[in-house]
Structure 1
Amino acid sequence: MVSRTPVTWGSPTPSLRPSFAEVHVVTAAPEPAVAPPVVQKREFWVLIGHAVVLGVFGAFAALIFVGVITFGGTWYDDARPGWFGGHWWWVAVAAAAGVAVGLVRRLTRLPWRTPGLFEDLQTEHVDPRLVPGIAAVSAVSLIGGASLGPEKALGSMGGGAGSWLARRRGLTTSDGQVNTLAGFAGAYGGLFSSTVIVVMLIMEIARPGGQRFTKALAAQIVASSVSFGVYFAIAGAVFLGDYRVPRYGFEDWHLVAAIPLGLFAAVLVTLLVGFIQGASRLFGLLKVPAVAKSVLGGVIFGVVGVALPLTMFSGADQLKTMLGGAGTLGLGVLVATLVAKMLTFAVSQGSGFVGGPIFPSLFIGGAAGILVHEVIPAVPLGLAFSCLLAAVPGALVAAPFAMVLMAAFLTQVGALQTAPVLIAVVTAFLTMESVKFLLVSRKRARAATARPAEPPKPATGAVQGE
């Protein structure tokens, strides 16, 4: 029998409300501590201090490296643009550069395949052990006339210094990545002569997220600013305003014209990627020593340089010559130079020479702009040149906004004239990304089709028992 407790009417019932002490205890519970902002942490200011050091280091590294390749490349000074304006002894110089590249690679034990510039930026790490070999081989490559730029060697030196310093000081992985990006910014601050371009370029390619964004942004601004200040104080030279184009008035139809210009840039980038993959595959299939591959590559771009001298070297100075002689070189020379530059760039990379892709792609874009103006004179030279100067590298390196800024600074076009440049770059960038998406989707579909069908799963126990 269950006993029941009698309830007396009018008797007080037990209160369900918490007591004052319980309320006091609940309200007095400590709230979770709020983390201080990133800029109020000690490690943030440690990174800023490192950025100052990396900025100074990058400025002097750029001064020395650019000085070495500029002095070493003076043998090219007597070049004449046009068909067969070079000298046949250039082939011997390029072949000798190939021999030197192979020997320096062997002495420094530099692997045949090393991470590219974009891979270093995306991983936010540079192996310091590879830096001496990369810098030495790149210097020989650029002095020998290879169609490559100096940004790979400078980025490796700056980024390698940042990675080495991070390991030396025992930084966390996240802060070490920030330190590496600051090293890149320090190396490029003097080369590109613009903190805005440098920071935008690195941030677009690396894309650091979370708290690293604030740290990386601040560290890169400091490093590139210090680098530019030191570089300019000593060299007094800037990269901006190098390509002066004729002034032209902005019209509404320029915005529409920028779309086909961007599509043309995407076609050029697709062709360039095809050249690069083809050259890499062909040189990889050659069963000869690495030195022989470098010599063969030197002979190829040396012979092409004799026939079309404007294809030699990074293309920075050669594009000035082409822009100054627009209308006098002839349509055939322009087309041949444009295609030949893609070939020599691909051969230089595939045969073991070391260098960056930004300066050659600027040349390809600028040359393509001159070509468009020659074919369609109604399109102003400044419009075609500035749009393609930005669109080709913008689509190749996946840094559209940085390339818009670079084209605007290099050509000194007006504020309104940058609107078509942005449309052309975005058109080329989105076109290339859509092509990549289609190729990846097709590859996945083929893999799914080739995969054997999975055998049917056995029935569960519940079903078996029925």
Structure 2
Amino acid sequence: MTTDHVPPGPSPSADKTPLQVLLPQVLPALVIGVAASLLYLGISALAEEFEHVLWDDLPDALGIGGHSSLWIIIMLTATGIAVGLVVWKVPGHAGPDPASMGLGGVPLALVVVPGLLLASMLALAGGVSLGPENPIIASNIALTYWLGRRVAPTVPGAAWVALASSATIGALFGTPVAAALVISEALVGQPGRGSLWDRLFAPLVAAGAGAMTTQLLADPSFDMGLPPLTDPGWADLLAALVIASAAAVFGLASCYLFPYVHAAFRRLRHPMVMLPLGGLALGLLGALGGPLTLFKGLDQTRELTSSVGSWSSGELAKLAAVKLVALLVAASCGFRGGRIFPAVFIGAAFGLFAQALVPEVHPAVAVSSAVLGVLLATTRQGWISLFTGAVLASSPAMLALLCLASLPAWLIVTGRPQLELDHQGRALH
């Protein structure tokens, strides 16, 4: 998922001091940060409530096991039908083909937002292997751009896009650091006056407001409870280098297959064919992989890593492979959602698989390095991949290992197909 099209914040004017330029940006950035977080939390809360109804209350009322193979197949197929109806009938058709959507992008028409959010909420509640990030960011950009252009038409549209993107990323990760990394990566090679921190100022305010709102109203955490690495050695470095590179190769498999799976679903043409069949495929995959391979994957990753050593290498390999295929199918058939959170689960399962094969490898090294490798392959965002791998371990000693492990993994993935397509269905590189 590229962020090449995420623009920077406003540039300082030649006849104003930096202070005169930056101070007026604080209030709108704060408002956008809070609003972006509230939209994210609201959609997440609705999805969680609906999830309880679909996976707990309804099967209990019917006397069916909520996580039985039969119910998984029924629910994922029904979710495909429901999302298909939204894409088909709701104005705006839930936005463009999600296979060509990255983090950010040009503002969508306002009419698209309700259908996009509804389709995303249904997918989250129904157990589809996608996260909320892409639809939430796209919706916040559309709303912020529309309102900003009316309240302050002289402000460049790129500034509103940057603020909305930063605010939502801060809200999603519960910290402004992730947003700063994404925006700074997007600033490379783009024209603009003033220092980097001048250009990051307003996006960081928005990201901080979004992150604090999420922290105050919810309890976001990427801490997986892994045992901390306190004294890394040469063996840990070797393990990190090997596992990150192997995980990158594993993640690249989905990138190479993506255009072909996407083209196969596109030949079905109608959303009421593509999405129900995609849902059925996801249901069969869920029945094969079990409940842990459903949903966006963050809670499931925590459950997986809470019992290190209790999974066999075969079970972990199956979890990683099933989730990878589920992500590929969900992204290809038209479900609205992001790829970062499912990729975290894939990486965690792959890392624990490596650790099961070689028990001497520290669990934090195995999981963080594998998450780094899979994210590099599927998102092609170095800073976000490094950041996510580091916070999963909650161990400062891991940062140096991951920085070094990212280098051979990046050489493997750079220039290769991404898990994102252009509007003609061709793989981005």
CA separation in 1, counterparts of 2:127 and 2:151? 39
Counterpart of 1:422 in structure 2 is: 403
CA separation in 1, counterparts of 2:101 and 2:374? 16
- The equivalent position to 2:204 in structure 1, one of 204, 221, 231, is 221
Q: 1:315 to 1:258 in 2, by over 3 A?
A: same
- Note the 1:1-400 alignment, pairs <5 A: 35-36=14-15, 39-42=18-21, 44-74=22-52, 75-76=54-55, 86-105=68-87, 106-110=89-93, 113-114=96-97, 119=102, 121=104, 123=105, 125-169=107-151, 171=153, 175-205=156-186, 207=188, 208-211=190-193, 213-214=196-197, 216-235=199-218, 237-245=219-227, 247=229, 249-286=231-268, 289-309=270-290, 310-400=292-382
Letter in 2 for 1:39: P
| Secondary structure of the structure 2 residue equivalent to 1:225 | helix
CA separation in 2, counterparts of 1:280 and 1:117? 11
CA separation in 2, counterparts of 1:53 and 1:248? 40
Q: TM-score, normalised by structure 2?
A: 0.83
Instruction: Give how far 1:52 is off.
Output: 1.4
Instruction: Give how far 1:425 is off.
Output: 2.3
Instruction: Give how far 1:124 is off.
Output: 5.3
Instruction: Give how far 1:133 is off.
Output: 1.9
Q: 1:221 to 1:111 in 2, by over 3 A?
A: closer
Q: Unmatched 5+ residue regions in structure 1? A: 1-33, 438-466
Instruction: Give how far 1:77 is off.
Output: 6.3
1:268–1:392 contact (8 Å) kept in structure 2:
yes
Counterpart of 1:24 in structure 2 is: none
Larger Rg over CA atoms: 1
CA separation in 1, counterparts of 2:26 and 2:111? 25
Q: TM-score, normalised by structure 1?
A: 0.77
CA separation in 2, counterparts of 1:47 and 1:97? 42
CA separation in 2, counterparts of 1:114 and 1:38? 43
Instruction: Give how far 1:205 is off.
Output: 4.5
Letter in 2 for 1:99: I
Counterpart of 1:26 in structure 2 is: none
Q: 1:136 to 1:211 in 2, by over 3 A?
A: farther
Q: Unmatched 5+ residue regions in structure 2? A: 1-12, 60-65, 419-429
2:247–2:371 contact (8 Å) kept in structure 1:
no
Q: 1:35 to 1:242 in 2, by over 3 A?
A: same
Instruction: Give how far 1:405 is off.
Output: 2.3
1:390–1:404 contact (8 Å) kept in structure 2:
yes
- The equivalent position to 1:431 in structure 2, one of 394, 408, 412, is 412
Letter in 1 for 2:381: A
| Number of aligned positions between the proteins | 394
In percent, how many aligned pairs have the same letter? 24
| Secondary structure of the structure 1 residue equivalent to 2:360 | coil
Root mean square deviation, CA, Å: 2.8
Letter in 2 for 1:431: I
| Secondary structure of the structure 2 residue equivalent to 1:63 | helix
